[in-house]
Amino acid sequence: QVQLVESGGGLVQPGGSLRLSCAASGSIFSISVMGWYRQAPGKQRELVADITAGGKANYADSVKGRFTISRDNTKNTVYLQMNSLKPEDTAVYYCNAPRVVKPTDVFRSFEVWGQGTLVTVSS
């Protein structure tokens, strides 16, 4: 069983910063991409940023220049540094690994989601 566990959410004032972490645990051979999604009340879940194992990052237009995604492959952990936060960034943030490979079956991959962590930007 592979799990993704997020941490680092909370309440922050507009203009503030937060750093989210997501650690993958379990029997893992490889994780090609790790990313962050978010879902605000009444809205669809949307991609915030993702990053390949080689370090290539992709961002939603709404967070470019404010958020930075990074990962530590030795720890199977992905981070999201969020700066200049706005009220519209308020959402539940979910960690995602769309193609996880286990050592017992390297010819098959599966997707894993974290449980989500709430980020509230409000004065």
User: Please, are residues 1 and 9 in contact by the beta-carbon 8 Å criterion?
Assistant: no
Taking alpha carbons only, the member of 34, 57, 50 closest to residue 114 is 34
Nearest partner of 119 among 18, 15, 35, judged by Cα: 18
> Over the range 15-41, which residues count as b (16 or more CB within 10 Å of their CB) and which as e?
eeebebbbbbeeeeeebebbbbbbeee
Tens-level pLDDT at each residue, the chain (123 residues) = 899 999 999 999 999 999 999 999 999 999 999 999 999 999 999 999 999 999 999 999 999 999 999 999 999 999 999 999 999 999 999 999 999 999 999 999 999 999 999 999 999
Dihedral sign of CA atoms 11, 115, 44, 83 in order: positive
